[in-house]
Structures are given as structure tokens and as C-alpha cells.
């Protein structure tokens, strides 16, 4: 078994490339390496340099591997299809240029779903026609990433989007050929949505191509769900705590991965406020130490 542990810019609060509160990309790379990681995700397209020579040299200097990248865009909004495609193409080009493998697709937060994050019984659902277009957009990007760029493309459930709760994930998986679309399981978002990531992994291990390690504080989750707190405000309140401090059973996750012969990267993601009180590099180091302590070397 070879499992490698990486991190992602969102652990430094980088959610949007143009946010003036973001740390510099060089700082993120420096601190990722200093915290003991061998790989990093691209982050939102435009945060790290799109010139392969510039980013390639920076990664090489630090001994870091580019693992993959995320297209976090409004797949739910047909009027923003050009925006989704542009981000996807640019991300694919960057990943291909650096030999990265994982293209992760996420439906971004929708105003129609934000108030019901963590409340599956109340969440608005798409009608049949809207769903067909929605699933088709995922299928088109998955086909492009897989066939044109040679990437492994995965769907990532995310709080407050339209691929959030377990029945929606299952529906999309049933609608799209497994050869085109795999699963990037995020342990924290599963708990946010109210389903057990370990049970989900056990059921779908043959389709899981990539894993995001995230833990969740149950007390903060209960509060933000009750108050209908926005996702980014919840991140600022510490809903995603250090690994091993929340409710995710990482021992069980590790056993499933080992038993399945999982090969490749698992990436730590601890979404946070870029101006929050915590230290991203200290959290990243604590998370790496925790994973080492339970056998992720």
C-alpha cells in the first residue's frame, strides 16, 4: 500500500482566487512543505501561476508534487455554463502541464440551498428537466477532463450545493458512466450533510479515486445548522476542526483504504477564515502529526 498525504490552499483560507485576504501562493507552498507534506492541490484557478514554468520551478524548489485541482463553480446555473467551462479548461491545462492526475468537480454554493445546509428534509430539489441539464454539465466536463486531458475526474459532494446529501450523490453516480466520473469523498462534508462517510466508502470503494481528509466539530455543526449559518461563516466558527478532534473515524477510514488496496493521494482540507485566529501552518502540522500517529506515514 502506498498512500501519500497532501494538503490544499483551502487550509490557508484560499477559497476564491481574487480574495484580497488570501496569503501569497508562495507562502502557501512554503508552509505546506514546512508542515511535512509532499504534495498540494492547485486551489482555485488563478491563485497559483498558470504559467507552467513559474509554478513548475516553485514546486520543484520545494520538493512538492501537484496532486490535482478543483472546479468549484455553479454547475446548477445553466446561465453560467461559460464560466464553468472556462474554469474547467484552465484547470485541466494546469494539471496536465504538471503531471497531476485529479480533477475534482464541485457544485458551488447556491442561494437556493444555502439556508438548508445540513437539513436534507427541507432542501429544495431540482425538477426533472433541471436535473437532466445539471447532470449533463457534469458529464460534459468529466468527459473533457478524462478524454482530452487524461485526468481522473471525480465528483465531490459539498455543503449548500445541489450535490450535497446522500440521495443526490447516489443519483448523479447512477446517471454518469463510472468510466467518466469517480468519487472524491470528503469526510467532513459527508458529516455536514448528515451521512456516514465510512459507510459510504464501504459501499462505493470501487469508485472512490481520491479522498479529502476533513474533520468536523459536532457542537459547531449543530449550532450552525440550527441557526442556518452560511458556509463560510461556519468555517470561520471552526466547524472544520483539526483531524482527530471531531467525529470522523479516521482509523476506520484507514482500514477501508488499506483493505481496498488504495494507491495514491489523500489530501487534508481544513477550510478556514484567511483572517481567522488560528494558524494554518500550525494546524497543518498538527494534522500531519495526527495522521502519522495512526499509521499514515
pLDDT > 70? residue 1:
no
Mean pLDDT of 291-295: 98
pLDDT at 30: 98
In DSSP notation, 63-82 reads T-EE-EEEEEE-TT-GGGHH
Question: Of 278, 156, 164, 297, whose CA–CA distance to 217 is shortest?
Answer: 278
Task: With cut-offs at 50, 70 and 90, classify the pLDDT of residue 17.
Answer: very high
Question: 239: burial class by Cβ within 10 Å (0-12, 13-18, 19+)?
Answer: buried
Structural domains in the chain plus CATH codes: 3-293 (3.20.20.150)
Residues in the chain, total? 297
Q: Mean pLDDT over residues 140-146, rounded?
A: 98
Query: Per-residue confidence at 67, pLDDT binned at 50, 70, 90?
Result: very high
Q: What is the pTM of this model?
A: 0.98
pLDDT at 283 over 90: yes
278 confidence band (pLDDT: 50, 70, 90): confident
pLDDT-derived band at 276 (thresholds 50, 70, 90) equals: confident
pLDDT digits (tens, 9 = 90+) for 76-121: 999 999 999 999 999 999 999 999 999 999 999 999 999 999 999 9
pLDDT at 61 over 90: yes
Reply yes or no on whether the pLDDT at 238 is more than 60: yes
CB distance 35 to 242 below 8 Å? no
CB-based contact 237:224 (threshold 8 Å): yes
Q: What residue has cell string 442561494? A: 111
CA distance 194 to 280: 27
8 A C-beta contact, residue 105 and residue 137:
no
The pLDDT value given to residue 68: 98
**Hey, what's the cell of 59?**
514546486
Q: How far apart are CA 36 and CA 48, in angstroms?
A: 20
Q: What are the tens digits of pLDDT across the range 195-209?
A: 999 999 999 999 999
What Cα–Cα distance (Å) separates residue 77 from each residue in 109, 192, 232?
Answer: 11, 23, 20
Amino acid at each position: 500500500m502506498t498512500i501519500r498525504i497532501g494538503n490544499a490552499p483551502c487550509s490557508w483560507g484560499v477559497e476564491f482566487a481574487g480574495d484580497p485576504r488570501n496569503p501569497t501562493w508562495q507562502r502557501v507552498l512554503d508552509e505546506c512543505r514546512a508542515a511535512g507534506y509532499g504534495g498540494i492541490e492547485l486551489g482555485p484557478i488563478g491563485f497559483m501561476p498558470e504559467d507552467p514554468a513559474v509554478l513548475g520551478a516553485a514546486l520543484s524548489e520545494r520538493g512538492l508534487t501537484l496532486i490535482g485541482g478543483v472546479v468549484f463553480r455553479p454547475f446548477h446555473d445553466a446561465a453560467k455554463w461559460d464560466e464553468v467551462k472556462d474554469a474547467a479548461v484552465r484547470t485541466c491545462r494546469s494539471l496536465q502541464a504538471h503531471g497531476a492526475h485529479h480533477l475534482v468537480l464541485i457544485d458551488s454554493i447556491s442561494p437556493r440551498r444555502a439556508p438548508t445546509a445540513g437539513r436534507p428534509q427541507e432542501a429544495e430539489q431540482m425538477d426533472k428537466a433541471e436535473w437532466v441539464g445539471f447532470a449533463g454539465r457534469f458529464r460534459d466536463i468529466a468527459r473533457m477532463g478524462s478524454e482530452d486531458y487524461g485526468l481522473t475526474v471525480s465528483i465531490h459532494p459539498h455543503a449548500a450545493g445541489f450535490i450535497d446529501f446522500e440521495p443526490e450523490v447516489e443519483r448523479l453516480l447512477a446517471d454518469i458512466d463510472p468510466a467518466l466520473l469517480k468519487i472524491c469523498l470528503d469526510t467532513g462534508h459527508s458529516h455536514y450533510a448528515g451521512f456516514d462517510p465510512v459507510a459510504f466508502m464501504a459501499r462505493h470503494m470501487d469508485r472512490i479515486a481520491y479522498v479529502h481528509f476533513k474533520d468536523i466539530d459536532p457542537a459547531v455543526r449543530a449550532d450552525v445548522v440550527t441557526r442556518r449559518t452560511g458556509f463560510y461563516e461556519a468555517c470561520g466558527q471552526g466547524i472544520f476542526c483539526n483531524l482527530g478532534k471531531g467525529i470522523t473515524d479516521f482509523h476506520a477510514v484507514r482500514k477501508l483504504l488499506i483493505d481496498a488496496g488504495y494507491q495514491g493521494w489523500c489530501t487534508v482540507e481544513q477550510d478556514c477564515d484567511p483572517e481567522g485566529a488560528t494558524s494554518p501552518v500550525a494546524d497543518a502540522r498538527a494534522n500531519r502529526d495526527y495522521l502519522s500517529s495512526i499509521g499514515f506515514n
